[in-house]
Amino acid sequence: MNQAVSSRRPTAAVKALDIKRRLRTRADARRVPVLRSFFKTGPGEYGEGDEFIGVTVPALRETCRECRGAGLGEIRVLLGSPVHEDRLLALLLLVDAFIRADRDGRRSIYEFYLSKTGRINNWDLVDCSAPAIVGGWLYDRSRARLRGLAKSPSLWERRIAIVATAYFIRRGEFDDTLAIARLLLHDRHDLIHKAVGWMLREVGKKDGALARRFLDAHASDMPRTMLRYAIERFPPAERQAYMRIGREPVTRVRRDGPGPAARR
């Protein structure tokens, strides 16, 4: 019997095979070439080898609602799939389960999530799940684990570290975002540049003065993409002034870690 991940039992057992079949009724093969390009699945790209079946995000969320209550075992099967939409649905189900779970259930989901970071291997997979699960669990606990993730050789774990802090930002806490941004200032991957800039922009929405103090101290060390994302909401003249001091990007690593077959 699958371990329950929610404090509410499903009205009927939902099997991974049934979930996959349901998802494939919503697939549109015409979307696949665009998705492969958008998520960089070519040789040497960060999503190399990822497979798509062409399901939209609204359709994925609808499937998640229909399959609410799937057990952890079924989610594990979905997360092990080579198909991107299966893994995205697994994470949507996991987030839904985390929100509904009691304390022990949330701990189990958090630990499961961090044991499967090799399968959370594209930016949308990280972004839909890290704030709720990692940020949600660590909110009233030590955030030291985020520093470890920020220093990881895994691109996806580093992105989890910074994006998880979105949960804290929404609640008016910015110290961890700024601390992890400092750790990632010299990261070589543009997906980290974008994520750090995005989180700094979110800080700026809540506390513009704090964001500007950070930028005044670090703009000269920031890759231009990171800086551009961070100042996106600033007035044009201020954006131009900051961009004049942003550094040029270093050569970007084209590939981070082993190919899909070797990932967890």
Which CATH number fits the domain that encloses residue 157? 1.25.10.90
For residue 172, what are the contacts with CB-CB under 8 A and spacing of at least 6?
A: 206
Is residue 110 domain-shared with residue 175, that is, in the same domain? no
Is residue 38 domain-shared with residue 141, that is, in the same domain? no
Give the structural domain span for 146: 129-258
Is residue 142 domain-shared with residue 253, that is, in the same domain? yes
As averages over each run of 10 residues, the pLDDT of the chain (264 residues) reads: 39 82 97 97 96 98 94 96 98 97 97 98 98 98 97 98 98 98 97 98 98 97 96 96 76 39 33
Rg of the chain (C-alpha set): 19
What's the pLDDT score for residue 69? 86
Q: Is residue 87 one of the residues assigned to a domain?
A: yes
What's the pLDDT score for residue 17? 95
- CB atoms closer than 10 angstroms to residue 220: 12
Q: Is residue 23 one of the residues assigned to a domain?
A: yes
Distances in Å between the Cα of 175 and the Cα atoms of 169, 171, 208, 224 are 9, 12, 14, 23
Cα separation, 189 vs 253, whole angstroms: 6
Q: Show the tokens assigned to 17.
A: 């095979």
Q: Is residue 56 one of the residues assigned to a domain?
A: yes
Is residue 139 domain-shared with residue 110, that is, in the same domain? no
Is residue 179 domain-shared with residue 254, that is, in the same domain? yes
Is residue 3 domain-shared with residue 104, that is, in the same domain? yes
167-183 as b/e: b if 16+ CB within 10 A: bbbeeeebebbbebbeb
Number of compact structural domains in the chain: 2
Is residue 93 domain-shared with residue 201, that is, in the same domain? no
Q: Is residue 264 one of the residues assigned to a domain?
A: no
Q: Is residue 237 one of the residues assigned to a domain?
A: yes
Cα separation, 70 vs 241, whole angstroms: 51
Is residue 180 domain-shared with residue 251, that is, in the same domain? yes
Is residue 111 domain-shared with residue 134, that is, in the same domain? no
Is residue 18 domain-shared with residue 34, that is, in the same domain? yes
Q: Is residue 153 one of the residues assigned to a domain?
A: yes
Of 65, 87, 121, which residue sits at a domain end?
121
Is residue 99 domain-shared with residue 1, that is, in the same domain? yes
Of 99, 121, 143, which residue sits at a domain end?
121
User: Where would I find the H helices in the chain?
Assistant: 16-24, 32-38, 57-66, 72-79, 84-100, 103-115, 123-127, 130, 136-138, 144-150, 155-163, 166-170, 175-183, 190-206, 208-218, 224-230, 236-243
Q: Is residue 207 one of the residues assigned to a domain?
A: yes
Tokens 């009724």 correspond to what residue? 25
What's the pLDDT score for residue 3? 40
Is residue 19 domain-shared with residue 48, that is, in the same domain? yes
Q: Show the tokens assigned to 92.
A: 């949507």
Of 69, 93, 121, which residue sits at a domain end?
121
For residue 178, what are the contacts with CB-CB under 8 A and spacing of at least 6?
A: 203, 210, 214
Q: Show the tokens assigned to 167.
A: 């949960």
Q: Is residue 263 one of the residues assigned to a domain?
A: no
